[in-house]
Structure 1
C-alpha cells in the first residue's frame, strides 16, 4: 500500500506541483487549501506524513502544527511534519521545529528535494522498527520498534524527532556526541536542517524527562562538543 501524504498549502499551483512529484514516486496525495481543512483531514485520513505551509488562511501553520502535536490521538500527534516556509530567518525556521515539526523546506524549493526529505523520514522510521532497540535507564524505558517512551510508567509525549534523538543518546550512553553526529545518527545523514535544531530537541526532551531541566542529570552538555546521556 502506498504511503499517504497530506499537503496543506493555500497556493493551488504549488500544491498541485508538489502532488505531481509525490504521485510520480508512488505516493497517494491529499490536498488541503487552508488550516481548518488540513486539521480535519489529518484527523480523519491519518496520513503517513504532512507537508505543512507556514502561512495559511483560517489557521496558520505554526498553530496547526501545535494542535497536531498536542492531539489526543497518538497516530495524529506522531505524524511526521515537513514545514514549508518563505521566511529565511533562522529564528523563524526554528520556531516550527520548536513546535514539533520534523523538518522544513524554504521557498522557493525543488519538489524533488521535498520528496527526498520525505523519503529520508520514512527510511528513519523503518530503521527504527528494529525490535532489539529497547533502552532503559531507571524509570525511563524507550522501545524504538513500538515507538513508545515511558517515564515512571507514564507515556512521554515526544515528537518523532525528539524520540529519535533520545533513543540515539540512550544507545550511545556515556559517549559525547556532537550536534552533527546526533543529526546523522538520529535524523539521517541526508537531513539538511540546522545543527541548532538539536539544541531545540534537547531542551524539549529535558523538560520531559529531567526532574530539574535547569540542572539535568540524564542528558548533560559537553561544552565544546555536544551532549552525552549520563543517566541516573
Structure 2
C-alpha cells in the first residue's frame, strides 16, 4: 500500500490530514519533529512526504535537503507563509509542490494524486551538470558560462534547473508551470515564454553545437544538450 508521511507539529492539522488521506486509500504515518521524521524516512522510504516548514528543532528545509540527498521521493511543503520567494525556494530546493495554510484537506489529497501522476523526479548523479561551456550547480543555485557566473532571477533559475535535470525532453507550457512553479502559480502560461526569452538572452554565447533551449512549435520547450 502507498504510504504517506506527514511531518507536522500541529496536532489538529496532522490528524485531519491523516483522516482524509486514509479515506482516500493511503496508509499514513505522522511525525511531529524532524529527527523522528528523518529516522523513519531512512528506515522505510514512503511514497510521498507532506512536510511542514516550521518544525521544532529542525526545520522543513533541512529535512527536505536530507531527503533530496538520497531520494527522489515526492515532497509537498506546507507553510503558513505565502511569499512567492518561499515558494520558489521550496521548488528550487527540490519540493514537488507547495501549499500555504490554511488549506482544505480535500485539496491536499488532490495534490497528492496530481504529484503521484507525474513522471518520477530526475535526481542528478552529482551536484552539478556540465554541457560544454555551461555548468549548472544545483547545490549553490549558480550557473556558469565560460567560467563566469550568470545573474538569473529565482523564477528563471528554477526553470533552467528543471530543464537541465531533464535534457532533451519536451515539456508543454502547462507542464512546466505545474512542475517548476507549482499549482499555486497565478498567471498566464505566457510567463513561460517570457522566462525562456530571458534565459536565451543570458545564454546567447552558449555555442549551439553544445546545446540550446529549443521551441517545438505547438508543443513546448526542451533543453537540447549534446551529451556525447
Counterparts in 2 of 1:227 and 1:51: CA distance versus 1, 3 Å: same
Q: How far does residue 169 in structure 1 lie from its aligned partner after superposition?
A: 5.9
Would the aligned equivalents of 1:180 and 1:195 in 2 still touch at CA under 8 Å? no
Match of 2:211 in 1: 218
* Structure 1 residue 194: Cα displacement: 2.8
* Secondary structure of residue in 2 paired with 1:105: strand
- Say if 1:179 and 1:195, in contact at 8 Å, map to a contact too: no
Partner of 1:192: 183
For 1:108, which of 102, 110, 113 is the aligned residue?
Answer: 102
- What is the CA distance between 1:214 and its match in structure 2? 9.5
* SS of the residue 1:182 aligns to: helix
May I ask how many residue pairs the two structures share in their alignment?
Answer: 181
Q: Which residue of 1 aligns with 2:15?
A: 16
**SS of 1:94 mapped into structure 2:** helix
Gaps of 5+ in 1: 72-76, 129-143, 207-212
Structure 1 runs (4+) greater than 6 angstroms displaced: 147-152, 161-164
Structure 2: runs of 5 or more not aligned: 131-136, 139-158
Q: Using a 3 Å threshold, how does the CA distance of structure 1 residues 69 and 30 change in structure 2: closer, same or farther?
A: same
Partner of 2:60: 61
1:88 deviation in Å? 1.0
Contact 2:3 2:28 in 1 (8 A): yes
Do the aligned residues in 2 keep the contact of 1:4 with 1:28 (CA within 8 Å)?
yes
Q: Indicate how the Cα distance of structure 1 residues 148 and 40 shifts in structure 2: closer, same or farther if over 3 A, else same.
A: closer
Larger radius of gyration: 2
CA contact (8 A) 1:4 1:29 kept: yes
Q: CA deviation at 1:42?
A: 1.1
Aligned position for 1:171:
169
8 Å CA contact 1:85–1:93 kept in 2: the answer is no
Say whether residues 1:123 and 2:117 are aligned partners.
Answer: yes
Instruction: Output one character per residue of 1:93-134: Cα deviation in whole Å (capped at 9) or x when no partner.
Output: 211112111101110001111111110111124xx6xxxxxx
Measured after TM superposition, the shift of residue 230 of structure 1 is: 3.1
1:78 to 72, 83, 87: 72
Deviation at 1:9, TM superposition (A): 0.2
Quick check: 1:219–1:229 contact (8 Å CA) kept in 2? yes
The change in CA–CA distance for 1:14 and 1:99 in structure 2 (over 3 A counts) is: same
Contact kept, 8 Å, 1:81 with 1:103, in 2: the verdict is: yes
Give the Cα separation in 1 of the matches to 2:55 and 2:123.
32
Partner-residue secondary structure (3-state), 1:57: coil
